[in-house]
Amino acid sequence: MPTEPESPGPALPSGPPTTSSGRARPPAQAARRHALRTAPGLAAGRLAPMLSGGLPLATSDSTPDWLEPAMAANGIGSFDWDIRRDVLEGDLRACTIVGLDAVEKGRFDRSSASFLALLHPEDAPVVRRRVERAVSELGQCGAYYRTVGPTGAMRAVRFRGRVLADAFGRASRMVGFVWDATVELHKRDRADRLALLREERSRFIKEAARALSEAVTVRDVARVFTELPLPGLPPDGLVLASFEAGRVQVLGASGYRPEELAGYDRSVLPPTHPAAEALRGRAPVFCASREEYRERYPDVWEQARRTTRSSWAFLPLVASGRAIGVCVVSFDDDRELDADERTLLSTLGGLVAQSLARARLHDAEHELAAGLQRVMLPRTVPSVPGVTTAVRYLAAGSGLQIGGDWYDVVPLPGGHVGLVIGDVQGHDVHAAGIMGQLRIALRAYAAEGHPPAAVMARASRFLADLDTDHFATCTYAEVNVDYGVVYAVRAGHLDPVVRRADGTAATVPVAGGLPLGIAPDEEYRVTRFSLDPGETVLLCTDGLVEARGMDLDEGIARLTAVLAEPLADAARTGRDPLEDLADRIASQAADSSEREDDIALLVLRWDGPEGGLAAQQLRRRIGQADLARIAEVRAELRDALRRWGVAELIDTAELLSSELVTNAIRHTDRDAMFTARLYREPAADGGRARLRVEVEDESDLWPTRRTPGEQASSGRGLMLVEALADGWGVEPRGSGKRMWFELTVTPAE
């Protein structure tokens, strides 16, 4: 194979550097100009070392007699090229080395073009270029080249020549030597192949290390191992197995039938098995043939005999000084692995061991985190008549995949339902533990029947008493299932989002307070809003609407856009549209590999009673000291009358109800019970609607109608009731009394 130009070596015995007449050569530049002007082979681009048909050298620079025996002993031939006449001459050895047999000699016309035709097409340009340079510089050149015979046989030749100048300093002749370099070239080819194989193995180790470093789970490690292309020794079978408590578990395999591995999977590894020997000695075990396997391990030969394998390599997987598994590399033919191949397999075993140990730790941590998260979150969501709920939880894409986000659905006294969504600071096991305690405490407070503000205040004090240096954000909403009224409390959390009956979606502003655990004495305000049948309220944690590259406003806008999309057809999908909606919202979250925060999602749809109409009765207890409850009851009454279809009674009913409730609270020291009922007459009887409002208390003191003066600040309540109600009265009730009034409305024609 030709190489790049070599540096000029020592002068060959091919004549003195001066002319025969003793005249000095012209300067180098003049010599090059003369050579280019007078060399016919150079002008034609055909210059190369040439050989004749074995004619003796006829020049005055023939090989000296003292050098001939040395050349003959070393198989070196000589050549002489007349550059001006483009004629080549060489001795018999040179012809033999080049491969000119009798047939070739007849075809060879001793010209440069004829000789170039003998060379390999890849080598001829290189040889020509080097000779041209030597002629132009009156210097030396040399190269490897290959000749191709008429039968396609190829041989390698090496030459070295020197250009001689005439009396005028022009290139006249090139003389030199040739010798057979086939063996030398074969050595170089073998060295090149070995170097290429080493390069491939080094590249394989780098690629295997990269692929195994990216493997996260044990399944990933098994997949990467069984798909690795081993350079130079492609195996016919690969097995990766873990070793725990004396038992083997096959993690992955290629090139084996399932029945061939069934006897080993989850079984005790025999102590005489070569894999057991490799694990005990922490060193690979190689079997080059079936005979060697049978002789060394006769006790377990029967299982190996049933396979088609003929040679094996058992590589122990050792991590942190502990044997955790074994790799088996097998071949269908007998194979005695050399030192480089064994080193390659041993290195691969070390890489697989480290990756497998890391993957097993990851799987164990993931299972621990997933189990802990399952215990902390509700296993099931209770079914409450009148509402439909759907929940989703997505763990963070990094770390232990566990955090402090949670959701809960709590059945409350009176058929109501409580919705909880929260997020404890942090994304670790500590945060998950705090979340579990806080969820249980908040659930207990809600189940006891405390109003939403009291539930949130008690939860905040509970978290502060834990003294964990953690805080939590939370939104708690109590839903009146009878009327679709929602009482929401927010502690540093996101506002709820409501999807209305017309398909629009928007956030509902809720009065907020400090996160739980920061100010134990924080008082939280309640925000009230209502739902129509079929409307949906959504609570979520910030992981759904905040991510890298997406701020909160953008996330809320995306969420409301998804929520406003048309719902799926239950008849077509066979699922409740709320479940499809929850899946669609969760799918908008960032990919699990990039998500930095947990996501908890709770969706509730108020279905209402059958027919879509709320029950036409409202009953509420008003505490003696809870004056804010009066305003809440008035608001609930407004919603109820609007839903019952008697909105024209709202103003009058609200005013009179407020008077009766205020009278009961002011003049007694007990709680009051407020009840509103709507009665409808049949259409045949006119279809009138009659609203009856009752306020019960436990006082025996009856109200007295008075006529207050112009400057009096009280005493007009019963006057308003008498003037505006269609009927009113006071009835005894055991230890107390019941005040009532009625309003009637006749449907329009």
DSSP result, 423-443: EES-SSHHHHHHHHHHHHHHH
What's the DSSP call for residue 516? B
Percent of the chain with pLDDT over 70: 82
What ranges in 17-101 are assigned the alpha helix state H?
A: 28-38, 40-43, 68-74, 92-98
- Residue type (1 letter), 326: V
pLDDT digits (tens, 9 = 90+) for 394-440: 877 555 556 778 899 999 877 789 999 999 887 677 788 888 889 99
Using CA atoms, how far residue 393 sits from 10, 436, 598, in Å, is: 83, 15, 8
pLDDT for 315 beyond 90: yes
User: Phi, psi (5° rounding) for residue 95?
Assistant: -65, -40
Rounded to 5 degrees, φ, ψ at 264 are -100, -30
- pTM of the complete model: 0.52
Question: Do 232 and 341 form a contact (C-beta atoms < 8 A)?
Answer: yes
At residue 61, the pLDDT reads 43
Residue 716 sits at φ, ψ, to 5 deg, of -100, 0
330/310 Cα distance (integer angstroms): 7
Written as six digits, the tokens of 79 are: 């050549």
Please give the Cα distance from 125 to 148 (Å, whole number): 15
pLDDT for position 398? 54
Q: How many CB atoms lie within 10 A of CB 289?
A: 15
For residue 724, CA distances in Å to 76, 624, 717, 742 come to 135, 27, 11, 10
Domains of the chain: 28-180 (3.30.450.20), 196-367 (3.30.450.40), 381-606 (3.60.40.10), 617-745 (3.30.565.10)
The pLDDT of residue 401 is: 57
Q: Tell me, what amino acid is at 253?
A: A
pLDDT at 84 over 90: no
Q: Which H, E and C letters describe 616-645, residue by residue?
A: CEEEEEECCCCCHHHHHHHHHHHHHHHHCC
Q: Mean pLDDT highest for which of 52-56, 490-494, 570-574, 609-613? A: 490-494
Higher pLDDT residue, 650 or 611? 650
The model's confidence at residue 36, banded by pLDDT at 50, 70 and 90, is: very low
Asked if 530 contacts 485 with a C-beta cutoff of 8 angstroms, the reply is yes
pLDDT confidence tier of residue 35, bands split at 50, 70 and 90: very low
Smallest CA-to-CA distance from 639 within 484, 455, 497, 504 is with 484
SS3 content of the chain, % helix, strand, coil (to 5): 35, 25, 40
Instruction: Of 504, 505, 506, 508, give the one whose Cα is nearest residue 490.
Output: 508
Q: What's the pLDDT at 291?
A: 92
Q: What average pLDDT does the segment 694-720 reach?
A: 66
Q: Where are the beta strands (DSSP E) in 425-513?
A: 472-480, 485-491, 497-499, 505-507, 512-513
- Residues 134, 8: Cα–Cα separation, whole Å: 10
- DSSP E strands in 16-139: the ranges are 76-82, 87-90
267 or 670, greater pLDDT? 267
Parallel, antiparallel or unpaired: strands 485-491 and 405-411: unpaired
Grade residue 507 by pLDDT with cuts at 50, 70 and 90. very high
Quick one: what percent of the chain has pLDDT higher than 90? 21
Residue 6 has pLDDT above 70, yes or no: no
Supply 209's token pair.
């290390």
Radius of gyration of the chain (CA): 49
pLDDT beyond 90 at 597: no
pLDDT at 290: 92
Q: What per-residue confidence (pLDDT) applies to 704? A: 60
For residue 419, the model assigns a pLDDT of: 95
Which residues have a Cβ under 8 Å from the Cβ of 73 and sit 6 or more positions away? none
What pLDDT does residue 519 have?
87
Q: Is 251 helix (H, G, I), strand (E, B) or coil?
A: strand
- The residue type at 332: D
Q: Is the pLDDT of residue 545 over 60?
A: yes
**CA separation for the pair 416, 479 (Å, rounded):** 6
Average of pLDDT values for 460-479?
91
Q: List all residues 6 or more positions away from 485 whose beta carbon is below 8 Å from its beta carbon.
A: 479, 528, 529, 530, 531, 635, 636, 639
Largest CA distance in the chain: 158
Q: What pLDDT was estimated at residue 8?
A: 35
User: Who wins on pLDDT, 603 or 169?
Assistant: 603
Q: Within 10 A of 56 (CB to CB), how many other CB atoms are there? A: 11
Give the pLDDT confidence score for residue 22 in this predicted structure: 41
Residue pair 151/138 in contact (Cβ under 8 Å)? The answer is: no
**Checking DSSP bridges between strand 617-622 and strand 527-530, what pairing results, if any?**
unpaired
Quote the pLDDT of residue 204. Answer: 83
Q: Retrieve residue 195's tokens.
A: 């170097």
**Type and span of the H or E element at 312:** strand 311-319
What pLDDT, in 10s, does the model give residues 95-154?
Answer: 888 777 644 555 567 887 788 778 888 888 888 889 889 989 999 998 878 887 666 677
